[in-house]
With several copies, the nearest count.
Chain A
Amino acid sequence: MTPSEDPSTDEEHIAKTETFSLAEAERIAEALVFASAEPVSETLLAERLPSGLDIPALMEGLSAFYAGRGVNLIRTGDRWAFRTAADLSFVIRKDDTEARKLSRAALEVLAIIAYHQPVTRAEIEEIRGVQTSKGTLDVLMEAGWVRFRGRRRTPGRPVTLGTTPDFLDHFGLEELRDLPGLEELKGAGLLSGRIPPNFHIPLPGAVDDLQDDEDPITQMDLEELGLLTPSGEEEE
Protein backbone atom coordinates (compact mmCIF):
# COMPACT_ATOMS: atom_id res chain seq x y z
CA MET A 1 0.00 0.00 0.00
CA THR A 2 2.91 2.31 0.65
CA PRO A 3 4.78 3.51 -2.39
CA SER A 4 8.18 1.88 -2.64
CA GLU A 5 11.34 2.34 -4.64
CA ASP A 6 11.76 -1.24 -5.69
CA PRO A 7 8.46 -2.35 -7.01
CA SER A 8 9.25 -5.98 -7.71
CA THR A 9 10.38 -7.26 -4.30
CA ASP A 10 7.86 -5.20 -2.53
CA GLU A 11 5.08 -6.54 -4.59
CA GLU A 12 6.27 -10.04 -3.92
CA HIS A 13 6.36 -9.36 -0.26
CA ILE A 14 2.92 -7.90 -0.27
CA ALA A 15 1.62 -10.80 -2.25
CA LYS A 16 3.06 -13.23 0.27
CA THR A 17 1.63 -11.43 3.25
CA GLU A 18 -1.65 -11.17 1.52
CA THR A 19 -1.77 -14.86 0.75
CA PHE A 20 -0.86 -15.65 4.27
CA SER A 21 -3.35 -13.33 5.83
CA LEU A 22 -6.01 -14.33 3.35
CA ALA A 23 -5.61 -17.99 4.27
CA GLU A 24 -5.65 -17.03 7.90
CA ALA A 25 -8.71 -14.87 7.43
CA GLU A 26 -10.40 -17.77 5.69
CA ARG A 27 -9.62 -20.03 8.60
CA ILE A 28 -11.03 -17.54 11.07
CA ALA A 29 -14.15 -16.92 9.01
CA GLU A 30 -14.62 -20.65 8.63
CA ALA A 31 -14.25 -21.23 12.35
CA LEU A 32 -16.65 -18.45 13.23
CA VAL A 33 -19.36 -19.61 10.93
CA PHE A 34 -18.78 -23.30 11.50
CA ALA A 35 -18.99 -22.92 15.24
CA SER A 36 -22.41 -21.37 15.09
CA ALA A 37 -25.79 -22.93 14.49
CA GLU A 38 -27.21 -19.62 13.38
CA PRO A 39 -26.10 -17.66 10.36
CA VAL A 40 -23.30 -15.19 11.07
CA SER A 41 -23.62 -11.67 9.73
CA GLU A 42 -21.00 -10.08 7.55
CA THR A 43 -20.93 -7.28 10.08
CA LEU A 44 -19.78 -9.65 12.77
CA LEU A 45 -17.24 -11.21 10.46
CA ALA A 46 -15.89 -7.79 9.61
CA GLU A 47 -15.50 -7.07 13.30
CA ARG A 48 -13.50 -10.19 13.93
CA LEU A 49 -11.40 -10.30 10.77
CA PRO A 50 -8.43 -8.12 9.88
CA SER A 51 -9.78 -4.84 8.63
CA GLY A 52 -9.71 -3.94 4.98
CA LEU A 53 -10.78 -7.37 3.81
CA ASP A 54 -13.42 -7.78 1.18
CA ILE A 55 -15.64 -10.02 3.29
CA PRO A 56 -18.23 -10.86 0.64
CA ALA A 57 -15.49 -11.90 -1.79
CA LEU A 58 -13.75 -13.93 0.88
CA MET A 59 -16.96 -15.72 1.74
CA GLU A 60 -17.83 -16.34 -1.89
CA GLY A 61 -14.47 -17.99 -2.27
CA LEU A 62 -14.98 -20.16 0.77
CA SER A 63 -18.44 -20.98 -0.39
CA ALA A 64 -17.10 -22.20 -3.70
CA PHE A 65 -14.55 -24.31 -1.87
CA TYR A 66 -17.27 -26.07 0.11
CA ALA A 67 -19.75 -26.30 -2.74
CA GLY A 68 -19.10 -29.94 -3.56
CA ARG A 69 -18.72 -31.15 -0.02
CA GLY A 70 -21.15 -32.67 2.45
CA VAL A 71 -21.42 -29.42 4.30
CA ASN A 72 -21.94 -26.22 2.30
CA LEU A 73 -21.33 -22.63 3.11
CA ILE A 74 -24.42 -20.74 2.10
CA ARG A 75 -25.52 -17.15 2.15
CA THR A 76 -28.87 -16.02 3.47
CA GLY A 77 -29.51 -12.32 3.46
CA ASP A 78 -26.26 -10.76 4.59
CA ARG A 79 -25.44 -13.70 6.78
CA TRP A 80 -23.51 -16.90 6.22
CA ALA A 81 -24.07 -20.37 7.56
CA PHE A 82 -22.81 -23.89 7.15
CA ARG A 83 -25.59 -26.30 6.30
CA THR A 84 -25.57 -29.95 5.30
CA ALA A 85 -25.91 -30.46 1.56
CA ALA A 86 -29.56 -30.75 0.60
CA ASP A 87 -29.05 -33.95 -1.41
CA LEU A 88 -27.90 -35.74 1.72
CA SER A 89 -31.10 -35.14 3.60
CA PHE A 90 -32.03 -38.79 3.26
CA VAL A 91 -29.06 -39.93 5.37
CA ILE A 92 -29.34 -37.32 8.02
CA ARG A 93 -33.03 -36.89 8.40
CA LYS A 94 -34.22 -38.36 11.63
CA ASP A 95 -37.82 -39.10 12.25
CA ASP A 96 -38.03 -36.72 15.11
CA THR A 97 -36.72 -33.78 13.17
CA GLU A 98 -39.86 -33.15 11.18
CA ALA A 99 -40.08 -29.45 10.62
CA ARG A 100 -42.99 -27.53 12.02
CA LYS A 101 -46.15 -28.47 10.26
CA LEU A 102 -48.06 -25.47 9.07
CA SER A 103 -51.78 -25.37 8.46
CA ARG A 104 -52.91 -24.69 4.94
CA ALA A 105 -54.13 -21.25 5.93
CA ALA A 106 -50.89 -20.37 7.67
CA LEU A 107 -48.86 -21.50 4.70
CA GLU A 108 -50.98 -19.47 2.35
CA VAL A 109 -50.70 -16.38 4.51
CA LEU A 110 -46.95 -16.90 4.74
CA ALA A 111 -46.66 -17.08 0.97
CA ILE A 112 -48.76 -13.96 0.51
CA ILE A 113 -46.64 -12.07 3.02
CA ALA A 114 -43.43 -13.28 1.40
CA TYR A 115 -44.44 -12.39 -2.15
CA HIS A 116 -46.39 -9.22 -1.47
CA GLN A 117 -44.44 -7.63 1.34
CA PRO A 118 -44.81 -5.10 2.74
CA VAL A 119 -48.43 -6.10 2.95
CA THR A 120 -51.24 -5.16 5.32
CA ARG A 121 -53.63 -7.56 6.89
CA ALA A 122 -56.48 -6.08 4.86
CA GLU A 123 -54.58 -6.83 1.67
CA ILE A 124 -53.99 -10.42 2.73
CA GLU A 125 -57.68 -10.71 3.30
CA GLU A 126 -58.40 -9.23 -0.07
CA ILE A 127 -56.23 -11.80 -1.75
CA ARG A 128 -57.61 -14.73 0.17
CA GLY A 129 -61.15 -13.43 0.19
CA VAL A 130 -61.53 -14.40 3.79
CA GLN A 131 -60.63 -13.12 7.21
CA THR A 132 -57.38 -14.40 8.59
CA SER A 133 -58.34 -16.35 11.62
CA LYS A 134 -56.91 -15.30 14.92
CA GLY A 135 -53.74 -17.06 15.69
CA THR A 136 -52.62 -17.68 12.12
CA LEU A 137 -50.37 -14.66 12.12
CA ASP A 138 -49.45 -15.44 15.68
CA VAL A 139 -48.16 -18.85 14.62
CA LEU A 140 -46.06 -17.33 11.86
CA MET A 141 -44.65 -14.69 14.14
CA GLU A 142 -43.89 -17.17 16.84
CA ALA A 143 -42.05 -19.31 14.35
CA GLY A 144 -39.96 -16.22 13.73
CA TRP A 145 -40.75 -16.03 10.03
CA VAL A 146 -43.04 -13.03 9.95
CA ARG A 147 -42.73 -9.66 11.59
CA PHE A 148 -44.38 -6.31 11.81
CA ARG A 149 -42.41 -4.09 9.46
CA GLY A 150 -43.84 -0.62 9.83
CA ARG A 151 -46.88 1.32 8.88
CA ARG A 152 -48.34 2.17 5.52
CA ARG A 153 -48.61 5.88 4.91
CA THR A 154 -52.31 5.75 4.16
CA PRO A 155 -55.30 6.76 6.24
CA GLY A 156 -55.46 4.62 9.32
CA ARG A 157 -51.76 3.89 9.02
CA PRO A 158 -52.19 0.12 8.89
CA VAL A 159 -49.27 -1.97 10.07
CA THR A 160 -47.40 -3.76 7.33
CA LEU A 161 -46.06 -7.28 7.54
CA GLY A 162 -42.96 -8.84 6.08
CA THR A 163 -40.68 -11.82 6.46
CA THR A 164 -37.63 -12.14 8.69
CA PRO A 165 -34.06 -13.22 8.03
CA ASP A 166 -34.92 -16.51 9.71
CA PHE A 167 -37.53 -17.06 7.05
CA LEU A 168 -34.81 -16.90 4.40
CA ASP A 169 -32.64 -19.25 6.42
CA HIS A 170 -35.40 -21.76 7.00
CA PHE A 171 -36.41 -21.96 3.38
CA GLY A 172 -32.88 -21.85 2.05
CA LEU A 173 -33.20 -18.54 0.23
CA GLU A 174 -30.31 -16.21 -0.35
CA GLU A 175 -32.61 -13.27 -0.66
CA LEU A 176 -36.22 -12.46 -1.29
CA ARG A 177 -35.55 -12.20 -4.98
CA ASP A 178 -34.95 -15.94 -4.95
CA LEU A 179 -38.51 -16.72 -4.01
CA PRO A 180 -39.59 -19.35 -6.47
CA GLY A 181 -41.40 -17.93 -9.46
CA LEU A 182 -41.23 -14.36 -8.21
CA GLU A 183 -40.31 -12.87 -11.57
CA GLU A 184 -43.01 -14.69 -13.49
CA LEU A 185 -45.63 -13.73 -10.96
CA LYS A 186 -44.55 -10.14 -11.16
CA GLY A 187 -44.52 -10.24 -14.91
CA ALA A 188 -48.00 -11.71 -14.95
CA GLY A 189 -49.18 -8.87 -12.74
CA LEU A 190 -50.25 -11.34 -10.08
CA LEU A 191 -48.45 -9.51 -7.30
CA SER A 192 -50.42 -6.37 -7.69
CA GLY A 193 -53.76 -5.35 -6.35
CA ARG A 194 -54.97 -4.26 -9.70
CA ILE A 195 -55.86 -6.26 -12.73
CA PRO A 196 -52.95 -5.93 -15.10
CA PRO A 197 -53.87 -4.25 -18.37
CA ASN A 198 -52.87 -7.34 -20.30
CA PHE A 199 -55.05 -9.62 -18.25
CA HIS A 200 -57.59 -11.19 -20.52
CA ILE A 201 -60.22 -13.59 -19.71
CA PRO A 202 -61.90 -15.01 -22.70
CA LEU A 203 -65.39 -14.11 -22.08
CA PRO A 204 -67.57 -17.05 -21.94
CA GLY A 205 -68.70 -17.52 -25.46
CA ALA A 206 -71.20 -19.91 -24.12
CA VAL A 207 -72.64 -17.27 -21.90
CA ASP A 208 -75.19 -16.18 -24.40
CA ASP A 209 -76.48 -19.61 -25.06
CA LEU A 210 -78.84 -20.75 -22.44
CA GLN A 211 -78.27 -24.12 -20.92
CA ASP A 212 -80.82 -26.85 -21.32
CA ASP A 213 -82.29 -26.15 -17.96
CA GLU A 214 -82.53 -22.44 -18.40
CA ASP A 215 -85.30 -20.23 -19.56
CA PRO A 216 -84.57 -16.86 -21.01
CA ILE A 217 -84.90 -13.98 -18.64
CA THR A 218 -87.78 -11.74 -19.43
CA GLN A 219 -88.37 -8.16 -18.64
CA MET A 220 -90.90 -9.36 -16.11
CA ASP A 221 -88.33 -11.49 -14.33
CA LEU A 222 -85.95 -8.64 -14.07
CA GLU A 223 -88.50 -6.42 -12.50
CA GLU A 224 -89.43 -9.18 -10.16
CA LEU A 225 -85.82 -9.58 -9.16
CA GLY A 226 -85.61 -5.91 -8.47
CA LEU A 227 -82.93 -5.50 -11.08
CA LEU A 228 -84.92 -3.01 -13.01
CA THR A 229 -87.20 -0.51 -11.49
CA PRO A 230 -90.67 -1.15 -12.85
CA SER A 231 -90.90 2.14 -14.63
CA GLY A 232 -88.45 2.76 -17.44
CA GLU A 233 -85.65 4.78 -15.90
CA GLU A 234 -82.82 3.58 -18.07
CA GLU A 235 -82.52 7.02 -19.58
CA GLU A 236 -80.52 8.61 -16.81
Chain B
Amino acid sequence: MAGNIAKGAIPMDQLWQEAPERATDEPALVIDVGGFEGPLDLLLHLARSQKVDLAKISVLALAEQYLQFVESARRVRIELAADYLVMAAWLAYLKSKLLIPQQSKGQDGPSGEEMAATLAFRLKRLEAMRESATRLVNRNRLGRDVFARGAPEHIPHRVQSAFDASLYDLLSAYANLRQRQAVTQVTIEKRKVWSLSDARDLLTRMLGEISDWTALQHYLLEYLPPADRVTATASAFAASLELVREGKLEIRQDGAFQPIYMRGGSKLASAREAAVDTF
Protein backbone atom coordinates (compact mmCIF):
# COMPACT_ATOMS: atom_id res chain seq x y z
CA MET B 1 0.00 0.00 0.00
CA ALA B 2 2.72 2.39 0.93
CA GLY B 3 4.32 1.71 -2.41
CA ASN B 4 1.27 2.97 -4.17
CA ILE B 5 1.73 6.46 -3.01
CA ALA B 6 5.48 6.52 -3.27
CA LYS B 7 5.90 8.59 -6.37
CA GLY B 8 3.80 11.32 -7.76
CA ALA B 9 2.14 11.77 -4.44
CA ILE B 10 4.57 14.05 -2.75
CA PRO B 11 1.94 16.33 -1.36
CA MET B 12 0.25 13.39 0.23
CA ASP B 13 3.46 12.28 1.83
CA GLN B 14 3.84 15.70 3.24
CA LEU B 15 0.36 15.55 4.56
CA TRP B 16 0.97 12.34 6.39
CA GLN B 17 4.14 13.67 7.91
CA GLU B 18 3.07 17.12 8.84
CA ALA B 19 0.18 16.04 10.89
CA PRO B 20 1.53 13.78 13.56
CA GLU B 21 -0.76 15.30 16.14
CA ARG B 22 -3.71 14.04 14.20
CA ALA B 23 -2.69 10.47 14.67
CA THR B 24 -4.69 8.40 17.07
CA ASP B 25 -5.26 4.71 17.17
CA GLU B 26 -6.94 4.59 13.79
CA PRO B 27 -5.18 3.82 10.54
CA ALA B 28 -3.18 6.83 9.54
CA LEU B 29 -4.42 7.26 6.00
CA VAL B 30 -8.02 7.55 6.95
CA ILE B 31 -7.43 9.98 9.75
CA ASP B 32 -5.35 12.33 7.75
CA VAL B 33 -8.15 12.96 5.33
CA GLY B 34 -10.55 13.22 8.19
CA GLY B 35 -8.22 15.67 9.87
CA PHE B 36 -9.05 18.29 7.30
CA GLU B 37 -12.01 20.51 7.75
CA GLY B 38 -13.24 20.03 4.24
CA PRO B 39 -11.77 20.61 0.81
CA LEU B 40 -10.94 24.29 1.31
CA ASP B 41 -8.94 23.38 4.38
CA LEU B 42 -7.05 20.80 2.38
CA LEU B 43 -6.43 23.33 -0.39
CA LEU B 44 -5.20 25.84 2.12
CA HIS B 45 -2.84 23.27 3.51
CA LEU B 46 -1.54 22.48 0.05
CA ALA B 47 -1.17 26.16 -0.70
CA ARG B 48 0.86 26.63 2.46
CA SER B 49 3.13 23.82 1.46
CA GLN B 50 3.92 25.81 -1.67
CA LYS B 51 5.69 27.92 0.91
CA VAL B 52 4.79 31.20 -0.61
CA ASP B 53 2.54 34.06 0.15
CA LEU B 54 -1.04 33.12 -0.49
CA ALA B 55 -1.26 36.03 -2.84
CA LYS B 56 1.39 34.43 -5.00
CA ILE B 57 0.19 30.90 -5.24
CA SER B 58 -0.18 29.27 -8.54
CA VAL B 59 -3.78 28.28 -8.67
CA LEU B 60 -3.07 25.88 -11.45
CA ALA B 61 -0.35 24.13 -9.49
CA LEU B 62 -2.66 24.04 -6.53
CA ALA B 63 -5.42 22.46 -8.56
CA GLU B 64 -2.93 19.92 -9.82
CA GLN B 65 -1.83 19.05 -6.34
CA TYR B 66 -5.37 18.67 -5.15
CA LEU B 67 -6.33 16.45 -8.04
CA GLN B 68 -3.22 14.42 -7.41
CA PHE B 69 -4.23 14.05 -3.83
CA VAL B 70 -7.68 12.84 -4.76
CA GLU B 71 -6.14 10.54 -7.32
CA SER B 72 -3.78 9.03 -4.77
CA ALA B 73 -6.56 8.71 -2.27
CA ARG B 74 -8.51 6.83 -4.85
CA ARG B 75 -5.58 4.60 -5.60
CA VAL B 76 -5.24 3.57 -2.00
CA ARG B 77 -8.99 3.32 -1.69
CA ILE B 78 -9.59 6.03 0.76
CA GLU B 79 -13.17 7.10 0.68
CA LEU B 80 -13.41 10.80 0.28
CA ALA B 81 -16.46 12.69 1.33
CA ALA B 82 -18.63 14.08 -1.44
CA ASP B 83 -17.41 17.59 -0.67
CA TYR B 84 -13.90 16.66 -1.68
CA LEU B 85 -15.07 15.11 -4.88
CA VAL B 86 -17.17 18.08 -5.81
CA MET B 87 -14.16 20.29 -5.25
CA ALA B 88 -12.12 17.97 -7.44
CA ALA B 89 -14.69 18.27 -10.19
CA TRP B 90 -14.66 22.03 -9.86
CA LEU B 91 -10.88 22.18 -9.94
CA ALA B 92 -10.75 19.90 -12.95
CA TYR B 93 -13.10 22.30 -14.64
CA LEU B 94 -11.05 25.26 -13.54
CA LYS B 95 -7.92 23.60 -14.81
CA SER B 96 -9.43 23.02 -18.20
CA LYS B 97 -10.49 26.65 -18.35
CA LEU B 98 -7.03 27.84 -17.41
CA LEU B 99 -5.37 25.61 -19.95
CA ILE B 100 -7.62 26.27 -22.86
CA PRO B 101 -6.85 29.61 -24.36
CA GLN B 102 -9.84 31.90 -24.13
CA GLN B 103 -11.88 31.23 -27.21
CA SER B 104 -14.51 33.81 -27.84
CA LYS B 105 -14.37 36.85 -25.66
CA GLY B 106 -17.60 38.34 -24.53
CA GLN B 107 -19.04 35.04 -23.53
CA ASP B 108 -20.89 35.33 -20.32
CA GLY B 109 -19.56 33.70 -17.23
CA PRO B 110 -16.26 34.10 -15.53
CA SER B 111 -13.05 33.28 -17.24
CA GLY B 112 -10.64 30.77 -15.84
CA GLU B 113 -8.71 33.68 -14.38
CA GLU B 114 -11.76 34.97 -12.62
CA MET B 115 -12.51 31.56 -11.25
CA ALA B 116 -8.94 31.26 -10.07
CA ALA B 117 -9.26 34.64 -8.40
CA THR B 118 -12.41 33.47 -6.67
CA LEU B 119 -10.61 30.46 -5.33
CA ALA B 120 -7.64 32.52 -4.20
CA PHE B 121 -10.00 34.92 -2.49
CA ARG B 122 -11.78 32.19 -0.66
CA LEU B 123 -8.51 30.69 0.50
CA LYS B 124 -7.28 34.04 1.65
CA ARG B 125 -10.50 34.73 3.49
CA LEU B 126 -10.43 31.36 5.19
CA GLU B 127 -6.84 31.87 6.20
CA ALA B 128 -7.65 35.31 7.54
CA MET B 129 -10.39 33.80 9.67
CA ARG B 130 -7.98 31.13 10.91
CA GLU B 131 -5.51 33.76 11.95
CA SER B 132 -8.22 35.78 13.61
CA ALA B 133 -9.35 32.71 15.49
CA THR B 134 -5.82 32.19 16.74
CA ARG B 135 -5.47 35.78 17.80
CA LEU B 136 -8.80 35.60 19.52
CA VAL B 137 -8.04 32.45 21.44
CA ASN B 138 -4.69 33.80 22.51
CA ARG B 139 -6.14 36.89 24.06
CA ASN B 140 -6.21 37.20 27.80
CA ARG B 141 -9.20 35.07 28.48
CA LEU B 142 -11.45 35.20 31.46
CA GLY B 143 -10.87 32.23 33.70
CA ARG B 144 -7.49 31.50 32.19
CA ASP B 145 -5.45 34.70 32.29
CA VAL B 146 -7.79 37.11 33.87
CA PHE B 147 -10.01 36.39 36.81
CA ALA B 148 -13.26 37.62 38.19
CA ARG B 149 -14.08 38.18 41.81
CA GLY B 150 -13.70 34.83 43.48
CA ALA B 151 -16.21 35.47 46.23
CA PRO B 152 -18.97 37.52 44.64
CA GLU B 153 -21.34 39.15 47.07
CA HIS B 154 -24.25 39.78 44.78
CA ILE B 155 -25.48 38.99 41.36
CA PRO B 156 -26.61 42.03 39.47
CA HIS B 157 -29.23 40.45 37.28
CA ARG B 158 -31.68 42.51 35.42
CA VAL B 159 -34.17 43.52 38.00
CA GLN B 160 -37.05 43.42 35.56
CA SER B 161 -37.33 39.69 35.59
CA ALA B 162 -37.23 37.46 38.59
CA PHE B 163 -36.62 34.57 36.26
CA ASP B 164 -33.64 33.69 34.24
CA ALA B 165 -33.63 31.79 30.99
CA SER B 166 -31.82 32.32 27.76
CA LEU B 167 -33.10 31.76 24.27
CA TYR B 168 -30.69 28.87 24.07
CA ASP B 169 -32.24 27.26 27.15
CA LEU B 170 -35.66 27.72 25.64
CA LEU B 171 -34.79 26.29 22.26
CA SER B 172 -32.84 23.35 23.54
CA ALA B 173 -35.65 22.48 25.93
CA TYR B 174 -38.10 22.60 23.05
CA ALA B 175 -35.92 20.64 20.66
CA ASN B 176 -35.24 17.99 23.28
CA LEU B 177 -38.87 17.65 24.09
CA ARG B 178 -40.03 17.39 20.52
CA GLN B 179 -37.29 14.97 19.72
CA ARG B 180 -38.22 12.82 22.70
CA GLN B 181 -41.86 12.80 21.73
CA ALA B 182 -41.31 12.14 18.06
CA VAL B 183 -41.47 8.39 18.07
CA THR B 184 -37.95 7.70 17.01
CA GLN B 185 -38.51 4.15 16.00
CA VAL B 186 -37.56 5.07 12.50
CA THR B 187 -34.39 3.19 11.87
CA ILE B 188 -32.45 5.07 9.33
CA GLU B 189 -30.45 2.59 7.43
CA LYS B 190 -26.99 3.66 6.47
CA ARG B 191 -27.43 3.46 2.79
CA LYS B 192 -25.02 4.96 0.36
CA VAL B 193 -27.41 7.41 -1.13
CA TRP B 194 -26.97 10.99 -2.03
CA SER B 195 -30.05 12.57 -0.67
CA LEU B 196 -31.82 15.21 -2.64
CA SER B 197 -30.78 17.81 -0.13
CA ASP B 198 -27.14 16.69 -0.22
CA ALA B 199 -27.13 17.09 -3.95
CA ARG B 200 -28.89 20.42 -3.67
CA ASP B 201 -26.37 21.74 -1.20
CA LEU B 202 -23.44 20.64 -3.27
CA LEU B 203 -24.82 22.03 -6.48
CA THR B 204 -25.69 25.33 -4.88
CA ARG B 205 -22.30 25.60 -3.31
CA MET B 206 -20.56 24.96 -6.61
CA LEU B 207 -22.86 26.92 -8.82
CA GLY B 208 -22.43 29.87 -6.60
CA GLU B 209 -19.19 30.27 -8.40
CA ILE B 210 -20.07 29.08 -11.84
CA SER B 211 -22.19 31.22 -14.04
CA ASP B 212 -20.94 29.72 -17.23
CA TRP B 213 -22.49 26.73 -18.92
CA THR B 214 -20.83 23.72 -17.36
CA ALA B 215 -21.29 20.04 -17.75
CA LEU B 216 -20.80 19.61 -14.05
CA GLN B 217 -22.25 16.18 -13.94
CA HIS B 218 -19.46 15.07 -16.12
CA TYR B 219 -16.78 16.36 -13.83
CA LEU B 220 -18.59 15.06 -10.84
CA LEU B 221 -18.96 11.54 -12.13
CA GLU B 222 -15.33 11.49 -13.00
CA TYR B 223 -14.51 11.71 -9.34
CA LEU B 224 -17.17 9.58 -7.80
CA PRO B 225 -16.62 5.97 -6.90
CA PRO B 226 -18.51 3.81 -9.41
CA ALA B 227 -20.89 2.63 -6.73
CA ASP B 228 -22.04 6.17 -6.06
CA ARG B 229 -22.51 7.27 -9.62
CA VAL B 230 -26.06 6.18 -10.15
CA THR B 231 -27.42 7.66 -6.99
CA ALA B 232 -25.41 10.83 -7.41
CA THR B 233 -26.59 11.29 -10.96
CA ALA B 234 -30.18 10.70 -10.03
CA SER B 235 -30.13 13.00 -7.02
CA ALA B 236 -28.15 15.69 -8.71
CA PHE B 237 -30.52 15.63 -11.62
CA ALA B 238 -33.61 15.74 -9.47
CA ALA B 239 -32.10 18.51 -7.38
CA SER B 240 -31.15 20.47 -10.44
CA LEU B 241 -34.71 20.31 -11.72
CA GLU B 242 -35.88 21.66 -8.41
CA LEU B 243 -33.32 24.44 -8.58
CA VAL B 244 -34.43 25.28 -12.10
CA ARG B 245 -37.98 25.53 -10.92
CA GLU B 246 -36.85 27.99 -8.29
CA GLY B 247 -35.01 30.01 -10.86
CA LYS B 248 -31.67 29.34 -9.24
CA LEU B 249 -30.35 27.25 -12.04
CA GLU B 250 -30.53 27.02 -15.80
CA ILE B 251 -30.15 23.80 -17.69
CA ARG B 252 -29.35 23.10 -21.28
CA GLN B 253 -29.00 19.93 -23.22
CA ASP B 254 -28.23 19.87 -26.88
CA GLY B 255 -29.83 16.56 -27.58
CA ALA B 256 -30.75 13.26 -26.08
CA PHE B 257 -27.87 11.65 -24.19
CA GLN B 258 -25.77 14.74 -24.66
CA PRO B 259 -24.08 16.20 -21.61
CA ILE B 260 -26.34 18.35 -19.50
CA TYR B 261 -25.03 21.85 -19.08
CA MET B 262 -26.00 23.98 -16.16
CA ARG B 263 -25.28 27.40 -14.83
CA GLY B 264 -26.46 29.62 -12.00
CA GLY B 265 -29.82 31.24 -12.66
CA SER B 266 -30.74 34.85 -12.12
CA LYS B 267 -32.25 34.25 -8.70
CA LEU B 268 -29.19 32.52 -7.38
CA ALA B 269 -27.09 35.54 -8.17
CA SER B 270 -29.49 37.96 -6.58
CA ALA B 271 -29.97 35.81 -3.52
CA ARG B 272 -26.23 35.63 -3.08
CA GLU B 273 -25.82 39.30 -3.46
CA ALA B 274 -28.55 39.95 -0.97
CA ALA B 275 -26.87 37.61 1.43
CA VAL B 276 -23.66 39.52 1.30
CA ASP B 277 -23.93 42.28 3.78
CA THR B 278 -21.61 42.12 6.64
CA PHE B 279 -21.63 44.31 9.65
Footprint of B on A, CB under 8 Å?
Answer: 31-32, 34-38, 40-41, 44, 47, 81-86, 89, 92-93, 95-102, 104-105, 107-108, 110-112, 114-117, 119-120, 122-123, 125-131, 138-139, 141-145, 147-148, 152, 154-155, 166, 169-173, 179-181, 185-186, 188, 190-197, 199-204, 206-207, 217, 222, 225-227, 229, 233-235
Contacts and interface: CB of A to CB of B under 8 A. Distances in A.
Given A83-B146, A181-B132, 4 more contacts: A105-B37, A128-B38, A166-B161, A225-B96
B279 interface: yes
Given A180-B132, A190-B172, A195-B184, A100 B163 contact: yes
A99 B276 contact: no
Contacts of B145: 86, 89, 93
A180 B139 CA distance: 9
Interface stretch (B25-33, B72-80, B97-105, B224-232): B97-105
B1 interface: no
Contacts, number: 339
A115 to B, nearest CB: 6
A207 B100 CA distance: 11
Q: Give the most central of B146, B178, B274: most A CB within 10 Å.
A: B146
A126 B87 CA distance: 13
B17 interface: no
B278 interface: yes
Contact of B177 (A108, A117, A145): A108
Contact of A114 (B37, B83, B170, B258): B170
Contact of A172 (B122, B142, B254): B142
Interface string B104-129: 10000000010011101110111011
A131 B200 CA distance: 13
B12 to A, nearest CB: 16
A13 B170 CA distance: 54
B144 A99 contact: yes
A100 B165 CA distance: 9
A200 B181 CA distance: 12
Interface residues of B, number: 101
A8 B16 CA distance: 64
A35 B162 contact: no
Nearest to A176: B279
A152 B271 CA distance: 11
A195 B37 contact: no
Interface string B211-228: 000010010000000000
Contacts of A193: 188, 272, 275-276, 278
A27 to B, nearest CB: 13
Contacts of A89: 140, 144-146
B38 A129 contact: yes
Interface in B41-65: 41, 55-61
Closest 6 CB pairs of A and B: A130-B38, A129-B40, A193-B276, A111-B174, A111-B133, A107-B173
Contact of B148 (A81, A233, A234): A81
B150 A37 contact: yes
A185 B132 contact: yes
B184 A170 contact: no
A92 B169 CA distance: 28
A206 B64 CA distance: 13
B125 A190 contact: yes
A126 B150 CA distance: 42
